[in-house]
Chains A and B, each alone.
Chain A
Amino acid sequence: MSHDRSTWILRQKIYEKIFLVVSVFFLICSGLVLGALLLDLAQSGTSRISWNLFSNFPSRFPEKAGILSAWVGTLLVMLVTCLAAIPLGVAAGIYLEEYAPKNRITTLIEINISNLAGVPSIVFGLMALGIFVYKFALGQSVLTAGLTLALLILPIIIVTTREAIRAIPLSIREAAYALGATKWQVTKDHVLPYSLGGVLTGIIIAMSRAIGETAPLVTIGALTFIAFLPPSPVQTTAPFINFDWLNSPFTVLPIQMFNWVSRPDPEFHKNAAAAGLVLLIITVSMNAIAIFLRVQFRRRTRW
């Protein structure tokens, strides 16, 4: 009997060791796989990384093909996305956390946002194709693309804004109310400034997601070969600002990369790797900044 029990205990301890070994192995493996993939990308891509990559249009000669129209397109689309998603998302977050009464409409909005976050990105693309491109007749333009990505990242911004606001203790608000501040004054002078760190983190993460997003933009009919730039938003003659670029056709970095990956010629795969490297550096550094900010704000804040 006691012998049985001691072997049973021994067996349990062996199970534990096996689990530890396997889980650490998996952890190291996922690190190694990631490392190997990045190494491969760097190996194939670095030969193409040069000034020409950034200053050349795509071309049928792989050595000459560059990402000029792609990075300019990404920049312009992101500008539209920022301008649309940040005010809308932050305002919605403020409303749900500070103003919303507990009623059916609020519950509906909350359920809706959590469901929207689970909708595949390509479905947003279909919605934009049907509504923005054809119903609103915005065409396959920078404006359509920017709005599509804005709607896609709206739930992320709303959720992170709410989390940031929720972390502010009630005592801060009560102190401001006691001094006679109105609800909006409390929100604008206290709640919003104190939650800025968290809100900013959320915005950066959402933007990095939007930069890498390909599927919805392919769906709205973004072209894969563009050898011209949209008209410049600033000009030397009055009125100095020009909005023609909003209606211009465009391509973005991930679409350019997709186009190069899909070609059979392995020389183009090197271009794809170079574009991927650029894309990866942008998104990973944005995420690193966001993580850094989160840690900093958490460390600095003591209520």
Chain B
Amino acid sequence: MLKRQKSFQHLREWLIEKILLLAALSSVLVTLGIVFILILESIPFFKSVPLTNFLFDPYWTPLFSNPRYGIGSLVAGTLVTTLVALFVAIPVGSMIAIFLSEYAPAKLREWVKPALELLSAIPTVVYGYFALLVVAPFLQKVFSLIFGDPLISGFSMLSAGLVMGIMIIPYVSSLSEDAMRAVPMYLREASFALGATRFQTAIKVVVPSAFSGITAAYTLAISRAVGETMIVAIAAGMQPTLTLNPLQPASTITAFIVQVSLGDLPHGSLGYQSIFVAGLTLLVFTLSFNLFGHWLRKRFREVYA
């Protein structure tokens, strides 16, 4: 009797473990699904579009009657908006992180950190609204005042990038601050004992020691910016243009996917496949950033006993 109960219990334990394992494996299935479908839909695309056209053609016009498929203009748009965003987020986020970690009293930090994290909780479509209807008109006004000419149209990579920068500030500041606070106190004390100011200690001791964590923060911010969709789809104009001028409207890889999805392309057409090719390009970009970040982290990891 007892024995049978025991073997039932064993069976139950075994079964539960396998079910939990299946749940954990489901995440691998998601990745496989993503890679599978992106490659599957890209193969017929590359059968009709030569790779050299894809890489070097300056025009991306899959929806025109005379379609051309040069990914360069979408990549340029992604690059410019990301750079504008990083130009805002990296200095501001890093300085806030140093301030919170090295100067701010604990009480202030306890309040400021969650408040900053709320910045990343705002839906991106709301940020898109800000970029198009608040920031773009504001920039036009400022430029008219300074140069006597608004210089930019209602849609521009500059306004989209600036708002995206604000959105990713907490990714930079929060993770960098965690990394800096993990640096042991005795390193700072040694620096103070040599007569260094707090600022010198922060720049020359704390930041280099926390370098691997700060890198993680930066790579996360970059991959957020590269993959960000709604802000650029709303505020950057959705016209693929091969330009590096942030004052111009342009499209990005993500914005193009949204633009096509809003229309009514038949399943299986070359236009339909083009969004999967765009998605594959995006995945390759973010994945290589992540791998590079991973390598940097490993290379510069400091271990404190």
Contacts and interface: CB of A to CB of B under 8 A. Distances in A.
Interface of A: 12-13, 15-16, 19-20, 22-24, 26-27, 29-31, 33-34, 36-37, 40-41, 44, 87-89, 91-92, 94-96, 99-100, 108-109, 112-113, 115-116, 118-127, 129-131, 134-135, 151, 154-155, 158, 182-184, 205, 208-209, 211-215, 218-221, 224, 254, 257-258, 261-262, 269, 272-273, 276, 279-280, 283-284, 286-288, 291
A261 B41 contact: no
A254 B234 contact: no
Which A-B residue pairs are the 7 nearest by beta carbons? A120-B227, A212-B123, A91-B23, A130-B37, A95-B20, A215-B229, A16-B199
A283 B123 contact: yes
B23 A115 contact: no
Given A31-B115, A212-B124, 18 more contacts: A12-B199, A19-B95, A26-B91, A27-B112, A30-B169, A34-B166, A44-B133, A109-B25, A118-B223, A121-B229, A122-B257, A126-B34, A126-B276, A130-B38, A130-B41, A155-B27, A211-B123, A269-B129
A258 B231 CA distance: 10
Nearest to A44: B133
A126 B121 contact: no
> Chain B interface secondary structure, helix, strand, loop or mixed?
helix
Nearest to A213: B123
Nearest to A276: B126
A19 B123 CA distance: 32
A164 B43 CA distance: 43
A32 B154 CA distance: 23
B156 to A, nearest CB: 16
Nearest to B95: A23
Contacts of A262: 234
B118 A120 contact: no
A184 B287 CA distance: 37
B98 interface: yes
Nearest to A98: B20
Given A123-B227, A184-B12, A27 B23 contact: no
